[in-house]
Amino acid sequence: MREEKDLIEELYSVLKTVDDPELPSVSVYDLGMVHEVRIDSGQVNIQMVPTFAGCPALDFIELNVKKAIEELDWVEACNVKFTLEIQWSTDSITEKGKEELKKHGIAPPPENYRPGDEWTVNCPYCESDYTSMENVFGPTACRSILYCSACRNPFEAMKPVVKPLPTNY
């Protein structure tokens, strides 16, 4: 009988292979979408955190996670549930997630961003900060469209999503 800790570890290693359908090679784990993984005999319950509320990929992510986990022979069934108890922020993206984003031509979000602050975005190809914002909004809710004047490539960036300041909640 394997210990629960090892099984959980195995589940996480599977979650690290389930990619966001709109960002192949960036896993849902690295995007910071996995909140909690629990085992109840053969049942696996996974709580996930949605990125943007209007993201149409959420249903696919739920299906893909369920499918991948259920391929493990000891798993009888996997339930995936999105919770809003925790609000996803771009700070939840892992270092690996940020590296993978860059490979897609998507600059990772700024660190320690405070609402209302200006932010600079380095080009994911050449690292130059000689860049300009073409459109805050992009092909998906979480991305903006930019242009690098150094290497003359268009690219995208994850826009910072953080809790507004000040708040009383």
Partner 1 sequence: MNPIVETAEQAKQNPEYLKALKELLYQLADDDLLISFRGAEWLGLAPHVEEDVAYSSITQNTMGHAVMYYNLLEELGDGKADDLAHGRKVEERRNGTYLEKRNGEGKYLEDPYYDWALAVVRNFFYETFKKTKLEAIANSSYQPLAYVARKVLMEHPYHLAHWKLWIQQLQSSTEEAKNKIKQRVLEAWEEFGDVLELGTLATDMRKHHLITIGEEELLDRWQKEITEVLLDVPNATLGKRYGSGRNGEHTADLVQALDTLAEVYNSDKSAAW
95 Cβ contact partners less than 8 Å away, ≥ 6 residues apart = none
The correct pick among 135, 149, 152, 154 for binding partner 1 (CB under 8 A) is 135
72-111 footprint of partner 1 as x/- string (CB under 8 A): ------------xx-x-x----------------------
Sort residue 41 into left (φ over 0), alpha (ψ -120 to 50) or beta.
left
Q: Does 113 bind partner 1 (CB under 8 A)?
A: no
Q: Whole-number minimum distance, CB 136 to partner 1, in Å?
A: 6
Phi-psi domain of 71 (left: phi exceeds 0; alpha: psi -120 through 50; beta: other): alpha
Among 138, 147, 150, 153, binds partner 1 (CB under 8 A): 138
For partner 1, the binding residue among 54, 95, 112, 118 (CB under 8 A) is: 54
Chain residues binding partner 1 by CB under 8 A are 50, 52-56, 84-85, 87, 89, 115, 134-141, 145, 159, 161-164, 167-169
